[in-house]
Copies of this chain bind each other. A is one copy, B any other.
């Protein structure tokens, strides 16, 4: 069988992350054929050529449609700005390619719906880049919950904070334009929803508030412009399981760099996690002598798959990029027809529905049922 041909569209933050994963997935996992890095697409042809050299792709193009159409390409990594996801993913599925598309899925629910519809009838795999669910620590959390270790879940909270919009003196950018979406809610909130869905199941209803820490921002050319998006979003949730939840999103949170602080409360214990310390998970079990109960800090190690494929020693630490390598392995599993731990387009659409319900809830100041 010929090696899987990979096409990569986009070479920014996530484009490089995909490229690193495609380079590393075979050496790390060993049990998967080495993919062929066939073609890379970047808008500027010169940059495309340079990046292809750096990232190990055989050919370069500035025409993403050419990449999608190329017979050597079996799977397309889509890492462009969100507004392009739908068009590219639809074209790739249409061309019979597997698709690995970065989150969020699309910039409108209609687009996401179209993508999910296309994926439902396609014979290829369509997966989204929700890499945080690949963390061995998060997988342990999911396993412990599924096995009932902390009992029936009653409540969960997740707080997601970064500070890339925290500086009020930073010039107005596209992230403050309504065209980019709602703001914190879809810009990075979707990660929170992917984690909650994994750990607690589907969301049934949502009540949202959104806020603008800064109402205007300076323009590079002088003067200011009104901010159209919301850097803060706060949500009350009800899950299908009847558990309740809370999501706090803030991209103007000075000092937080990648905080995704998660807590899941059950009838027999609690799980706590923070993405800024992605190799640690805390577990409290209401069992044994009460004078020695406490939150235990579990360091990721070889007993938390697939950590062992990276390092045989515990507590040595995986990095953010390595979560994407795991995701890539799951994608290869799915392509091979094996069960895979992924957010496919159908699941991605359910996440987009939460976003849309939250936005509506905010607009109408009321609970919205999904």
When chains A and B are docked, how far (Å) is the Cα of A213 from the Cα of B269?
A: 13
Q: Provide the bound-state CA to CA distance between A154 and B167, in Å.
A: 12
Please state if B321 and A310 are interface contacts (CB–CB under 8 Å): yes
Closest to A140 in B: B291
> Could you tell me the distance between the alpha carbons of A105 and B179 in the complex, rounded to whole angstroms?
49
Interface membership of chain A positions 158-188, coded 1 if the CB is closer than 8 angstroms to chain B and 0 otherwise: 0100111011100000000000000000000
Find the residue from A26, A30, A31, A234 having the highest chain B CB count within 10 A: A234
Q: Is A121 an interface residue (CB 8 A)?
A: no
- Interface check A221, CB cutoff 8 A: no
Closest chain B CB from A140 CB (angstroms): 6
In the bound complex, residues from chain B placing their C-beta under 8 Å from that of A293 are 255, 296, 298
Closest residue of B by beta carbon distance from A314? B257
A278 to chain B, nearest CB (A): 5
In the complex, A313 Cα to B16 Cα: how many Å? 13
Q: What chain B residues lie within 8 Å of A17 (beta carbons)?
A: 311
Inside 8 A of A312's CB, which chain B residues have their CB? 13
Q: Does A250 belong to the interface (CB within 8 Å)?
A: yes
Stretch from A89-97, A112-120, A260-268, A347-355 that touches the partner: A260-268
Q: Which residues of the partner chain B approach A248 to less than 8 Å between Cβ atoms?
A: 157, 246
A20-61 residues with Cβ-Cβ distance < 8 A to B are 20, 23-24, 26-28, 30-31, 34, 51, 53-56
On whether the beta carbons of A256 and B291 are closer than 8 Å, the reply is no
Query: Contacting chain B: which of A72-80, A122-130, A299-307, A335-343?
Result: A299-307
CB distance from A57 to the nearest CB of B (A): 10
Task: List the B side residues contacting A51 at CB < 8 Å.
Answer: 30
**Is the Cβ of B320 less than 8 Å from the Cβ of A316?**
yes
Shortest CB-to-CB span from A14 to chain B, Å, is: 10
**Residues of the B chain whose Cβ atoms lie less than 8 Å from the Cβ of A151:** 168
Specify which of B28, B31, B238, B255 is in contact with A269 (CB 8 Å cutoff): B255
Q: Are A320 and B317 closer than 8 Å at their CB atoms?
A: yes
Closest 7 CB pairs of A and B: A257-B315, A255-B284, A319-B319, A154-B213, A294-B296, A294-B298, A211-B244
Please name 7 pairs of A and B residues whose Cβ atoms are closer than 8 Å in the assembled complex, sorted by A: A31-B54, A155-B253, A207-B209, A207-B236, A257-B313, A276-B315, A317-B319
Q: A140-B292, A166-B267, A232-B244 are in contact. List 16 more A-B contacts (CB 8 A).
A: A16-B27, A19-B27, A20-B24, A23-B23, A27-B56, A30-B51, A149-B292, A154-B252, A155-B253, A253-B263, A257-B301, A257-B314, A276-B299, A283-B294, A294-B299, A295-B296
